[in-house]
Amino acid sequence: MNTASLLVKARRAREKEHRLKPSLRLKTIGDIRAFIRDKGLVSTLVGNELPSLIGAILGKPWKPTGRGFTSWLDWWNVQVSGHRIAYWLRELSKDKDVIEMRIFRDTKTLVSSKLWPVMDPIVEHYHKLASDHRILSTFEWRIMDVLEEKGPTRTDKLRITLQLTGKTNTAPFHRSLVKLESLGLIVGYEDPKPERHLHANIWRLWPQAFTERSNKGSPSYEKALEDLLQCTIEAAVLVPEKEVADWFRWNDCLLEAKEALVSSGKALRAGRFLLATTVA
């Protein structure tokens, strides 16, 4: 099959796999959970190469417009299994088989439990780099220390403990949380029992979230990164190859992992694109 024909086939496969037709849309919470479990990585909203949960529920591509929050009303009130999508987004962040993270392009991403053992050696690798004071600032390491000492901690209480309650500290504090979350070093979930009108994340270290480690040992960092990249390409189906370098902050050895996948036939190269092997 020539490159042009392969890309046409890949675009059709992406539309089908990402449920971007009304006849394929997700209709129940069971459908949603199965979709996340099957794909492994699902973008909560839109704007990147991963399957979009909102797009799959609507059965069509969706993107925010210049109307601001008004454009969110396109999906905010859509009912799934008797509740609005907004309700299920909160519930999924507490699901025992899903962790909401920012590992992909620093955006909210739902990660299925089938990928947690793959991610574990990668997070451990970067935790070691952090322990050696090679990648984190003193401020970011202080956040890690507090979570190590106190366990899961809500955002407001974390700020109080760190003595960072002033407005001038708000932006750097949240930038640090995003960086730690994008490296997988911390994960957050919405407080299930907040005070009235208060919505805040509870933060925990990765080992506090992923506790079911195998006694058989983990793959190497390089092998785990290759496996994660393969899963991501399979979930995306079709991606511009130049974008891969910007997917993860885990970028050490990422391009080498990409070449290894193509060389071994675990990912396909067609012109300037990478394709999941299922396309062929």
Which residues form the domain of 156?
A: 118-209
* CATH code of the domain containing 190: 1.10.10.10
Angle between helix 170-182 and 138-150 (nearest 10): 70
153 in a domain, yes or no? Answer: yes
Query: Taking a C-beta distance cutoff of 8 angstroms, is the pair 228, 161 a contact?
Result: no
91 in a domain, yes or no? Answer: no
273 in a domain, yes or no? Answer: no
37 in a domain, yes or no? Answer: no
Of residues 121 and 77, which shows the higher confidence score?
A: 121
Q: What is the pLDDT of residues 5-26, one digit of tens each?
A: 999 999 999 999 999 999 999 9
173 in a domain, yes or no? Answer: yes
The pTM assigned to this predicted structure is: 0.92
Question: How many domains in the chain?
Answer: 1
27 in a domain, yes or no? Answer: no
Q: What is the mean pLDDT of residues 115-139?
A: 93
Q: What is the pLDDT of residues 226-269, one digit of tens each?
A: 999 999 999 999 999 999 999 999 988 999 999 999 999 999 99
172 in a domain, yes or no? Answer: yes
43 in a domain, yes or no? Answer: no
Kindly give, in sequence order, each residue whose CB lies less than 8 Å from that of residue 46, ignoring residues fewer than 6 positions away: 52, 54, 55, 61, 62, 63, 64
pLDDT of residue 66: 56
